[in-house]
Structure 1
Amino acid sequence: MLGHTHSFLTLRDNYLILDDMSVIRSAGLRGFRATVAELGGNAEEFAAAAGLPIAALDADDLLVSDEAMALTLEIAADRMHRPDLGLRIGARQDLSMLGPLALAIRNSPTLADALECTSRYLFVHARSLSLTLEPDPYGDRAVTALHYGVRAGLPSLVQGTDLGLAFLHRTLLRLVDGPYGLRSVELPYHPPAPRAIYEEFFGAPVRFDRPVAMLRVPGSLATRAVPGGDEHLNRLAIAFLAEQAADAGGSLVPQVRAAVEQLLATGTPDIAAVARLMTLHPRTLQRRLAAEHTGFATILDEVRRAEARRYLTTTDLPMSQIASLLGLSEQSTFTRSCQRWWDTTPSAVRRDHARARP
């Protein structure tokens, strides 16, 4: 992903925006088109005015300028005279828009684990956004503040911040399957929408013109279990996110390779399993890999070859066990693969490596 390099502010079409901002997954606009249509607006017109690719309105995995996305929301709210647009869109969104991060969150043991994971890996979804747990600004030791916002030095635009807080609020409701004890909502501006609209949406007091955007929640909330979590899926998703975070480029190949590596020892990783871990449709995954002039079968074969050499040269594991770790059903399949990769047998690869060592 591209990083934010400076905070030079400009004024375009009477909207305060930021030059050279980072990118964000277009999933952040999920629900925008439908909401605008309900309100009688033209989503494509607003996107074009902000310089946002029209394709971003209907796809989750485009990397777009978060400047353009934030500006699209501001333009739409202003031209339709709907100051609560961010809240309306937030009511349509769900956790799946966060991609692989959603899988880790849903399968966290507790809310503390879910929030820690979100804090660590939210930048995979949007480089400039952050979520941190902080002491209560009013000194209440029984309260924790969830500080949501953009990186220091960036402006907190109304609709984007409203949308983010609305999404966070609804996600917490779903994770604990009901009210979670929200104490108050803090907003770093005086929005054009009436306070009553905010308080009806959040079901809690809302304070304007505060230093930062945050939700004040009970400190005990972090200890609550996330119902229906799967520890194994949580570990796989976090391992994949760690690999994905290490990849600074926009290529999908390293992410698919990381997913295959995580799933390999659990059985034969097919494209459906990898697509699920990446929260993509299998056909979307195939199409994006084809655009990078490769395919899932090629990546799987490359990972197996690398893992096979590692097992053969660094362990004394039996050939049958190595075959199993590679997701191969039979040792004979492993032997044929070695013949194709190196024109020799797995035993010969191990023997030749041993002879070459000092």
Structure 2
Amino acid sequence: MPGDARGLPSHDKDLPLRDMDVPVRASLLRGLSALITGAGGQGESFLAGYGVDEGEAATSGEAFMSLRVGERILEDVARRFGIPDLGLRMAAQQDLHVLGPLAIAMENSRTVGDAIECASRFLGLLSPALSHAVIPDPLENPGLLGIRYASTTGNASPQALDYGIGMVHRVVTLVSGGPYGLRSVQMPHPRLGPDAAYREYFGAEIAYDCPHAVLRVPRQLMEVPVSGGNDLLRDIALDFLQSRFGHRDVPVSHLVLAVLQGQHGADRSDLAKVARILNLHQRSLQRLLAREGVAFKDLVDRVRRDQTLGLITNTDLPFSQIAVQVGLREQSSLTRAVRRWFGMAPSALRSVGSDGVGDAGE
């Protein structure tokens, strides 16, 4: 099933060009190949027929495709391979970090309401066609609110809407720390698969053929704290998002520093782990840092230096233990690093304290 230059299968010429101008991140198709294969198809070759390389989509945060082509793929897969609840299955297996820095900002929000507001502001990171908002309860219950998911292009495909509202449900569940009192779900299309599949996924009553895709939730949900949030990491992630949408240079190095400061021991210097946390391919992360004139190893060294200074001057820990905590293999490595940073041995640094360092470490 070869595709044309626009990414359409050769037999499918009925999508107007104006619909092709709306991009969506190809990473949203992660895991689709496995679902096709599990249903007896050949996932990679099926997607390749649409011009989609799922391997590239899974590792590149910069790959885009037409929203309409993505929707057509979901509808074709559901029909051809007999997976009527495909959208829900895609949402169930998707990693929250497909949202990239938006996931970091949401996970570190102060309240569930803050996290939802953040998603509403920056959902365009995935596609300018996606819309997400808190609205009054569609059934006018004063104790409830609605969380609405929609496509701004109109006439969104049913499978794509199931996928989208399914992801919203997963995100709210994660930032809430578990079940959040979902009262019911409204779907803007007829039931696609067994009603039991929808009830099992959402754990609530489902209404079909409604005006919009909406989660009806308790009003007090907006004030529920997000556990384990980090204000610094949230602020840096928001700066990242605001800078990106403002078309200014993105301070990726600041975000990397925040991640490194939260790691310990040898794991700190693991580029692959940091890239995974930021939902970037290793090479993409290295390129972004290079544009800012900094290398990953230099950021590791900066964090290691600052934490070593604090541990030596503010604690009585043995130098061998400090070496392990900052990710150095042995005490001799710590001694060489401290001499390079501060121009003195660890014992001398402990004697003079941080005030005695002066400009030696700059």
TM-score (norm 2): 0.69
- The answer to whether the aligner puts 1:76 opposite 2:77 as a matched pair is yes
Residue 251 of structure 1 corresponds to which residue in structure 2? none
Q: Which amino acid aligns with 1:40?
A: G
Counterpart pick for 1:259 among 252, 261, 273:
252
Q: Which amino acid aligns with 2:247?
A: D
Query: Residue by residue, what CA displacement relative to the aligned partner does 1:254-311 show, whole Å, maximum 9, x if unpaired?
Result: 33xx22366789999999598477432434423xx2xxxxx73452369xxxxxxxxx
Q: Post-superposition shift, 1:196?
A: 2.5
Residue 92 of structure 2 corresponds to which residue in structure 1? 91
- The answer to whether the aligner puts 1:157 opposite 2:151 as a matched pair is no
- The answer to whether the aligner puts 1:191 opposite 2:191 as a matched pair is yes
Identity among equivalent positions (%) equals 34
Q: 1:265 to 1:225 in 2, by over 3 A?
A: closer
Q: 1:57 to 1:76 in 2, by over 3 A?
A: farther
Partners in 2 of 1:261 and 1:46 — Cα distance? 40
Q: Secondary structure at the match of 1:166?
A: helix
Runs of at least 5 residues in structure 1 that lack an aligned partner in the other structure:
1-10, 249-253, 290-294, 303-327, 335-358
Q: Secondary structure at the match of 2:113?
A: helix
Residue 143 of structure 1 corresponds to which residue in structure 2? 144
Q: Is the 8 A contact 1:183 1:204 kept in 2?
A: yes
Q: Is the 8 A contact 1:50 1:69 kept in 2?
A: no
Residue 296 of structure 1 corresponds to which residue in structure 2? 289
Q: Which amino acid aligns with 2:118?
A: C
Residue 180 of structure 2 corresponds to which residue in structure 1? 180
Residue 352 of structure 1 corresponds to which residue in structure 2? none
Q: Secondary structure at the match of 1:35?
A: helix
Q: Is the 8 A contact 1:100 1:277 kept in 2?
A: no
Partners in 1 of 2:17 and 2:82 — Cα distance? 20
Q: Is the 8 A contact 2:26 2:57 kept in 1?
A: yes
Runs of 4+ in 1 over 4 A off after TM superposition: 13-18, 53-57, 261-277, 328-334
Partners in 1 of 2:258 and 2:223 — Cα distance? 32
Q: 1:192 to 1:275 in 2, by over 3 A?
A: closer
Q: Which amino acid aligns with 1:223?
A: E
Q: 1:54 to 1:274 in 2, by over 3 A?
A: closer
Partners in 1 of 2:197 and 2:15 — Cα distance? 24
Partners in 2 of 1:13 and 1:20 — Cα distance? 12
Residue 355 of structure 2 corresponds to which residue in structure 1? none
Query: Matched residue pairs, number?
Result: 284
- The CA RMSD over aligned residues, in Å, is 3.2
Q: Post-superposition shift, 1:52?
A: 3.4
Partners in 2 of 1:234 and 1:107 — Cα distance? 5
Q: Post-superposition shift, 1:148?
A: 0.4
Partners in 2 of 1:266 and 1:193 — Cα distance? 42
Residue 239 of structure 1 corresponds to which residue in structure 2? 239
Runs of at least 5 residues in structure 2 that lack an aligned partner in the other structure:
1-10, 262-267, 296-340, 343-357
Q: Is the 8 A contact 1:131 1:149 kept in 2?
A: yes
Q: Is the 8 A contact 2:233 2:255 kept in 1?
A: no
TM-score (norm 1): 0.70
